[in-house]
């Protein structure tokens, strides 16, 4: 496995692979890799000859009050994990090289970014689309693999690829969870023992919502009210949003149907966590679904 930090060297490497007729997969990450990330690497290896894992804590995704400075960066461990799982390259550019002096261009997707995480994190998705667009240009992948935990991100990137006629296949992978149901996240390491126990209310709320639907509930405001009542009993949790949305448009729904996705974001102490799931349990398969 190679570690590449230069933008020009990364593009040169990719050009060589493409001339050799190889298929390149990209797994974009901010590092601090866990089994959820590594499941994306394994999926990418099923679909391509070589896999590039970007490890880049993207400053454009963070607001001034967010956790950019303390975001965990165990780079040596990340490289070891990528190598152990068959990755070909870790691409880890410096922020000053990726966003050089005078950088003033952003890729913006409107509409889909207005609500959910977009409402509570203004500008976040502009940072996501811009960095992924740059990675597509530099790495030149034929496909890129993303986790479903960031469901809104997937929808936004799907729109970007469609609208800009990008010849890149987006593959999404189901959420990987801890044995107790907590969605794997690099930010889980911020949680104290008590906070981690409180964080389980995310997956428990998804289970409860599905139970209500199985029992015949269809009114979205009523289901959300029950979830809010349960979550509000825990003093460690502050709700950012709870919403039942259409899985394509991300617009709130009044009645549950087979496109209904429960999307959630909470703060547990100082840590912000997200989770989501279909209310009819129409999850992506453990392998993948392709946009």
24 forms bridges with which residues in the sheet? 50
For 209, the token pair is 């919502």
Give the phi and the psi of residue 192 in degrees, each rounded to 5.
-75, 175
Q: Tell me which of 37, 85, 124, 173 is the catalytic residue.
A: 37
85 as an active site residue: the answer is: no
Are the CB atoms for 128 and 121 separated by under 8 Å? no
Are 144 and 168 a contacting pair, CB within 8 Å? yes
DSSP alpha helix (H) spans, the chain: 7-19, 35-47, 75-84, 95-98, 117-120, 124-139, 151-163, 193-199, 201-214, 220-231
Residue 280: C-alpha distances to residues 53, 108, 161, 277, 284 (Å) = 33, 32, 28, 9, 12
For 255, residues 6+ apart whose C-beta sits below 8 A from its C-beta are 218, 219, 220
In DSSP terms, 193 is beta-bridged to: none
Other beta carbons within 10 angstroms of residue 219's beta carbon come to 13
Q: How far apart are CA 11 and CA 266, in angstroms?
A: 39
CB 212 within 8 A of CB 226: yes
β-strand pairing of 289-290 with 169-173: antiparallel
Listed residue (46, 20, 5, 68) closest to 285, CA to CA: 46
Residue 61 per-residue DSSP state: G
- By annotation, the residues acting in catalysis are 37
């Amino acid at each position: 496995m190679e570690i590449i930090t230069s933008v020009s060297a990364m593009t040169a490497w990719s050009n060589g692979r493409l001339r050799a007729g190889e298929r390149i997969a990209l797994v974009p990450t901010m590092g601090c890799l866990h089994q959820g990330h590594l499941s994306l690497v394994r999926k990418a290896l099923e679909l391509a000859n070589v896999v590039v894992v970007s490890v880049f804590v993207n400053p454009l995704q963070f607001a001034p009050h967010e956790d950019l400075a303390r975001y965990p960066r165990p780079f040596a461990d990340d490289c070891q994990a990528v190598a152990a799982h068959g990755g070909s390259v870790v691409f880890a550019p410096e922020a000053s090289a990726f966003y050089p002096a005078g950088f003033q261009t952003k890729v913006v997707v409107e509409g889909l970014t207005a609500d959910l995480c977009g409402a509570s994190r203004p500008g976040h998705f502009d940072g996501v689309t811009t960095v992924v667009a740059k990675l597509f240009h530099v790495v030149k992948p034929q496909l890129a693999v993303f986790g479903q935990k960031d469901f809104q991100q997937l929808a936004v990137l799907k729109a970007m690829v469609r609208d800009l006629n990008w010849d890149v296949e987006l593959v999404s992978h189901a959420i990987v969870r801890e044995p107790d149901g907590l969605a794997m996240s690099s930010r889980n390491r911020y949680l104290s023992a008590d906070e981690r126990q409180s964080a389980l209310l995310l997956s428990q709320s998804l289970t409860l919502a599905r139970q209500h639907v199985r029992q015949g509930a269809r009114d979205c405001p009523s289901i959300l009210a029950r979830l809010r009542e349960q979550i509000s009993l825990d003093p460690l949790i502050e709700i950012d949003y709870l919403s039942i949305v259409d899985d394509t448009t991300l617009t709130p729904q009044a009645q549950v149907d087979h496109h209904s996705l429960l999307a959630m974001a909470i703060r547990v102490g100082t840590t912000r966590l997200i989770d989501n799931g279909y209310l009819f349990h129409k999850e992506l398969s453990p392998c993948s679904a392709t946009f």
